[in-house]
Amino acid sequence: MSSALQMQGRFSAIADISNAYITVSKKYIRPAITRMEELSTLPESEWLIRSQEFSRWCENSITDIDRLAQETSHTADANIQKNLTALHRRAIEAAAEQEG
């Protein structure tokens, strides 16, 4: 039973963390790569302005990613508890059925 609870908790945490990584990748990492590539092709006259815009975007992205990490941590904890409670309930029901 202990192993099942540990596995359930780990799977739940992995799912929440994976979802957060996918979000960060789609919303921040890939766009950042695209923006950097665009910067590398700009004429010098536009580069300074666009690079400053990119820097501001990066700063805002860092704030958003930090918020997402905090939300994910909170959500993961809540989901782990919910899933472990459900697993506990099932284990108790199965034990009661075996006794009966």
DSSP of 4-27? HHHHHHHHHHHHHHHHHHHHHIII
Mean pLDDT over residues 6-18, rounded? 79
Q: Say how far apart CA 25 and CA 92 lie, in whole Å.
A: 41
Q: Is the pLDDT of residue 57 over 90?
A: yes
pTM, two decimal places: 0.72
Check residue 1 and report its DSSP letter: -
Positive or negative, the Cα torsion across 99, 11, 71, 74?
Answer: positive
Q: Is the pLDDT of residue 68 over 90?
A: yes
Using CB atoms within 10 Å of the CB of residue 86, give its burial: 0 to 12 exposed, 13 to 18 middle, 19+ buried: exposed
Q: Is the pLDDT of residue 25 over 90?
A: yes
pLDDT band of residue 84 (cuts 50, 70, 90) is confident
Mean pLDDT over residues 9-33, rounded? 91
Q: Is the pLDDT of residue 20 over 90?
A: yes
Alpha helices (H) along the chain: 2-24, 30-40, 44-99
Q: Is the pLDDT of residue 21 over 70?
A: yes
Cβ-proximal residues to 28 (8 Å cutoff; 6+ apart), any chain: 61, 64, 65
Helix (H, G, I), strand (E, B) or coil at 42: coil
Instruction: Identify the pLDDT of residue 64.
Output: 97
